Amino acid sequence: MLPVSITTELLRRLTAQVAGTRAETWPLTEVYTGEVITQLPQSSPDDIVAAFAAARAAQKTWAAWSVKRRLEVFKRYHALLLERAEITTDLIQAESGKARQMAFEETCDVPIVVSHYLKRAAKLLAPAKHGGPVPFMSYSTEIRVPKGVVGIISPWNFPFATGISDAIPALMAGNGVVLKPDNKTALSPLYGVAMLYEAGLPEGLMQVVCGEGPDVGPTLVDNANYVMFTGSTATGRIIGEQAGRNLIGCCLELGGKNPMIVLPDANLDEVVKGALFGCYGNTGQICMHIERLYVHDSIYADFRDRFVAATSALHLSAAYDYTADVGSLISPDHLQRVSSHVEDAVAKGATVLVGGKARPDIGPAFFEPTVLEGVTADMLAGSCETFGPVVALHRYTSVDEAIALANDTDYGLNASVWGGDIAAAEAVARRIESGNVNVNDSLATAYASKGTPSGGVKQSGVGARHGDQGLLKYTDCQNVGVLKKQIMGPQPNQDYAAYAKQTLTSLKLMRRTGLR
């Protein structure tokens, strides 16, 4: 049974925000039971064009507001986010099937992002004056101009955190936004948008369009001034190619096959606890979650036994309370993908130490947390992103070997290193080819550090969210240069040879004095 907060009236208000009046709908289901929660309207290409036109009209007024006035909206929004966290948690849990602990933690991401950029946005968006080519007689001003209307395509695994958190800096910078959430998890981002309007966002500035990716994605990219996408590497390539043809920028956070290295001096009690979250948090459906675990040979057997015992003790549940350690996968289709990776590994010689089975007795998309041993590169679980509660254990004998194994992938989104000597562990971390590396944590420390950009390298993405870069990417830089007097070039009665000599002398003097 759905939580009492998810009323028929709430669902009506949320789905009414979807752009367009098309009769076609998509059955959005409660993952725990498979029962339909609501019929989600689907946007046509014409609806998407109209959504961009409405957002563009509203953006002209919004961009003319002072930064201070825009930020007042987000101060009110921050308060609403905290006040309504329980309802947001209910929506996230119903549409995604994740354990309530993880659903609640997802609600916290947005106010943290809002709070960070409330402190940074005014400084980042303020005009910055720089020296010009001629000291004292020239200067230039760096002016941050909003891109226009940003298209955001958010995934189903963290629909509220990515859909809304990625929109915050874009809106603060003066842009409009057209958001396309995944059909399966559109309710929580729609609720986030509703709260934005309640906080004072100008009508029409943020639009929501819904539909399957191939149906609506191309039109969205064609109408956007910038695109933010979180999802698979395969889809990211398509979006990146289209953005390139349109000569617009894009930020792509894509897949990962993330490693964890456990050094010989690591505290195994802490490692086991961290690995449980890193491997099974959100039922393994986190872009930055751990799928490859490398443990030094001297502690391998001890760690394996502890980790297997801890994994077997995890509680799976479909309850709307905080008792569950692990929730559901997103859908029966995704369960089949996860199952196929485990079955392929076993068929090719891997061993299941714990788990490895679906749990239809709990719900249609539940799968047991699973530890594999003997996984090799020719197995699906050895090279492809499983995106489920499945982790492979591996031994190593030297740090160089562990680093080589960790880097032996086309991906580079997240990694984890555990050790008692922090400096030594950090030295290992710096040798890993990954956009994010956590020392003595699995993933949360890097991602939750909103002051530092977070993104992938290699096939895990282009660009980053968070940090100054996470806001400035939504702006163009206008360079306004001012020359107070026409003094560049030869002066009257001065030939060019004399001017060239004078210029070289001036450049040497400016370098010596530090003027340039």
> What DSSP state is assigned to residue 414?
E
85-96 vs 100-125: helix axis angle to the nearest 10?
Answer: 120
Which tokens is 197 given? 């309007």
User: How many Å separate Cα 364 from the centre of its chain?
Assistant: 27
CA 412 – CA 417 distance, rounded (Å):
14
- The answer for residues whose C-beta is within 8 angstroms of residue 83's C-beta and 6 or more apart is none
52 Rama sector, left if φ>0, alpha if ψ -120 to 50, beta otherwise:
alpha
* Residue 204: other Cβ atoms inside 10 A: 18
- Which of the residues are catalytic? 253, 287
DSSP output for 17-30: TBS---S-EEEEE-
The helix, strand and coil proportions of the chain, stated in percent and rounded to the nearest 5, come to 45, 20, 35
CA separation, residue 435 to residues 143, 426, 458, 475 (Å): 29, 14, 9, 23
CA 93 – CA 1 distance, rounded (Å):
12
Residue 68: which of 174, 165, 199, 217 has the closest Cα?
174
Backbone angles phi, psi at 279, to 5 degrees: -90, -35
DSSP output for 149-212: EEEEE--SSSHHHHHHHTHHHHHHTT-EEEEE--GGG-HHHHHHHHHHHHTTPPTTSEEE--S-
